Amino acid sequence: MLGLTSNVLLFLAIAAAVVAPCCLVWLAGRRVPGIRRVRVGPAIAVLALALVAQLGAVSAVFLVVNRKFDFYSGWGDLLGQQTNPATGIAGDGSLGIGHGRLEVLPVTGKGSHTRSEVLVWLPPQYGEPAYRHHRFPVVEFLPGQPEQPAGVFRGFALGATAEAEIAARHVPPFVLVVPPLMIRPPFDTECTNVPHGPQALTWLASDVPHAVTTHLRVDPPGIHWSLMGWSTGAFCAAKLVYAQPKRFAAAVGLGGYYQPTTRQTWPNLFGGLPWVKRHNSPQWLYAHRSSGLTARLLVVTSRQDLESLRSSAKMIAATRFNPNDSRVVLPSGGHNFGVYQPFVGKGLQWLARGGVLR
């Protein structure tokens, strides 16, 4: 079978998109110079050629985009066939909420001047009498770009996964918070406080935690608050854990990157100043603030998720001698939910072993 990312498959899709319309014109007997007028063929042949032309065009666009962003590495990846079972961590129509409770928390951020809605998943234990005086640890899950909280909650089956891990006693009960990452659509801010622009770092590190601790029975930001992020959210999770170590104790990055990008970001995000860009890099923050730093990081990437792998490899190399940090490098799989979803549960277990979830 032709590989999903093979040049031959892309050539065939382009050929279908180009040749089929030409055949359609020929069958229709249009007066085109150099093409002899012929009798119109059967209607079924005309319909088939039209479908082939459209399918070829759509397939060609999909294949080009997929090759550029490494969403799917092969047919099994595209069809959701799991090739990377969630084993141990190396180096060392429904939202699927389970039996927990999903709430929408309106947040008005005084620091960031941002108003938005945050998804909050409460474990079944939150309403039980035995836990009425208990304060729960918090995991703040950060979406990718341009995803919204509901989409990433569904795509990663966050509620069902969290409940399963709690029910199996792999992790203690905790509260899951999913804020929007993009506070000034359609621009990515790389979770940065932009001068005279979006205050994305303040939104995630201060405004959202303040609203959650005000309205819910949870621990204050600190040793029992952690971050988990996907794609751009993984970048932000690592950045926050090093930039705000008194507020977050650990971070899990799924298919992320660890040096900032300026693609599709807020105009002139770093003002063209290399030192500003460096100070917003998780890898730079780790290297220059690692003395006495107890924050923990788990990097999960795939050898076929090329955009994540290149950056993750640098972060793995920088942290390889730190006993607080771990990594998972999957042998296959592209940049999509299906590849990384099994490692949400393993990431939660990793947080529990480190004492962040208690």
Confidence at residue 70, expressed as pLDDT on a 0 to 100 scale: 39
Q: What is the pLDDT of residues 136-193, one digit of tens each?
A: 999 999 999 889 999 999 999 999 999 999 999 999 999 999 999 999 988 899 999 9
Q: Given a cut of 80, is residue 291 above it in pLDDT?
A: no
With 50 as the cut, is the pLDDT of residue 345 above it? yes
Residue 132 pLDDT level (bands cut at 50, 70, 90): very high
Percent of the chain clearing pLDDT 90 (strictly above): 62
| SS3 at position 3 | coil
For 87-100, how does the pLDDT look when each residue is reduced to its tens digit (9 = 90+)?
A: 444 434 346 666 79
pLDDT band at 107 (very low <50, low <70, confident <90, very high): very high
**Domains of the chain by residue range:** 7-69, 78-353
Q: Are 251 and 240 in contact (CB under 8 A)?
A: yes
Of 291 and 283, the one with more pLDDT: 283
Encode pLDDT of 202-221 as tens digits: 999 999 999 999 999 999 99
Spatial contact of 81 and 138, defined as CB atoms under 8 Å apart: no
Token pair of 305, please? Answer: 């998720």
Q: Is the pLDDT of residue 351 over 60?
A: yes
Q: Evaluate if residue 300 carries a pLDDT over 60.
A: yes
Question: How high is the mean pLDDT of the chain?
Answer: 84
162 by DSSP, 3-state: which? helix
Report pLDDT digits (tens) over 1-52: 555 555 666 666 677 667 667 766 666 555 445 545 444 445 566 566 667 7
User: How far is residue 96's CA from residue 93's CA, in Å, rounded to a whole number?
Assistant: 9
- pLDDT, tens digit (0-9, with 9 covering 90-100), for 235-282: 999 999 999 999 999 999 999 999 999 888 888 898 888 898 999 999
Contacts of 270 (CB under 8 A, 6+ apart): 192, 260, 262, 276, 277, 280
Edge-to-edge strand ranges of the sheet holding 326-330: 101-109, 114-122, 175-178, 138-142, 225-230, 250-254, 296-302, 326-330
Work out whether strand 101-109 and strand 114-122 pair parallel, antiparallel, or are unpaired: antiparallel
In this prediction, residue 4 carries a pLDDT of: 53
pTM recorded for the entire structure: 0.77
Closest by CA to 126, choosing from 173, 164, 91, 64, is 173
pLDDT, residue 81, reads 46
Distance CA 8, CA 283 (A): 38
Residue 321 reports pLDDT greater than 80: yes
- Spatial neighbors of 222 by CB under 8 A, at least 6 apart, are 246, 247, 249
Residue 261 three-state SS:
coil
Give me the pLDDT at residue 71, please: 44
Count helices and strands (H / E) in the chain: 13, 8
For residue 76, pLDDT beyond 50 = no
For the domain with range 78-353, which CATH number is right: 3.40.50.1820, 2.40.50.140, 3.40.50.740, 3.40.50.300? 3.40.50.1820
- Residue 49 confidence (pLDDT): 61
pLDDT recorded at residue 26: 62
